Amino acid sequence: GNSVTQMEGPVTLSEEAFLTINCTYTATGYPSLFWYVQYPGEGLQLLLKATKADDKGSNKGFEATYRKETTSFHLEKGSVQVSDSAVYFCALSRGNTPLVFGKGTRLSVIA
Amino acid sequence: DTEVTQTPKHLVMGMTNKKSLKCEQHMGHRAMYWYKQKAKKPPELMFVYSYEKLSINESVPSRFSPECPNSSLLNLHLHALQPEDSALYLCASSQDWSGSRETQYFGPGTRLLVL
C-alpha cells in the first residue's frame, strides 16, 4: 500500500541555519506529494505541493523537489527563523484513496 | 480564499452530553472530510463526503455521526463519547474526491475534551 516515511524528530536548529527534513514514499504510479505545517495549537496549513516528477514546490522560502528515481520529497529552507517552529507533515495522494501522512517532524528554532 | 472555518474552537463535554461540531467552506469544493488528531500524531481520516454523500467511513464508532446539510457545511454530531475521544478534530475540503492531484485545505480544528 501507499506509505510515507519522515525523519524522526525533534529537530532543533539555531536561527538562520539550513533545514532539511527527509521524506520518502512508497506508492504505485505517480502520486501527488504535499508538505503541511502545523503551528502550535492550530490546524494544518498547506505549505507546498508537487504533482509530477521533477516538479519543485516552493512557498515562504521552503522548497521540495519530487524525485521519482529516489521516491523522495525532502523539505529544505536556506535560513530558518524562530517563527518556523512547528510540526511538518509530508503526505501523498493517489487516486481515490485517503491522504497518507508521515508521522510528522517537530522543528524547534532557537534564537 | 482557501479558508475552512470550524466552530467551536474548544469544547468540553461530559460522557452523557450531545454536542455538534461545525465546519464551513465557501470555495465551491465538493469534497469534505473529518479527521481526528491525537497529540504528537498525524491526522487520522474519519469520514469523506463527496457531493454531499458519504463516500468513506473509516470504521468510526456510531457515537460519531456526520452530516452534510449542503455543499458548504459539514457537521459532526457527538453523543455518549468516551474520554479517549478527546482530541483535535479537523475538517478539510478539496475541489473533488476523484483525482490524486486534489489539494485538501484544513480548518483550524476543534479541540475536544471529554470528561
B6 in contact with A at a CB cutoff of 8 Å?
yes
Q: Express each pLDDT in A45-80 by its tens digit.
A: 999 999 999 999 999 999 999 999 999 999 999 999
CB contacts, 8 Å: B97 with chain A: 96
Q: Region B19-27: what's the mean pLDDT?
A: 96
**Nearest of B109, B81, B70 to residue A36 by alpha carbon:** B109
Q: Which residues of B66-99 are buried (b: 16+ CB within 10 A; e: fewer)?
A: bebeebbebbbebeebeeebbbbbbbbbbbebee
Chosen for mutation from B7, B100, B110 (greatest number of chain A CBs closer than 10 Å) is B100
Q: What is the residue whose three cell numbers read 463516500? A: B55
- Predicted pLDDT at B102: 80
Instruction: Find the residue in A nearest to B91 (Cα).
Output: A43
- Predicted pLDDT at A28: 84
- Predicted pLDDT at B2: 67
- Predicted pLDDT at B63: 96
pLDDT of residue B19 exceeding 90: yes
Q: Express each pLDDT in B63-72 by its tens digit.
A: 999 999 999 9
The β-bridge partners of B54 are B49
- CA distances to A39, A45, A62, A98, B88 from A42, rounded to whole Å, are 5, 9, 20, 22, 9
Distance CA B44, CA B59 (A): 12
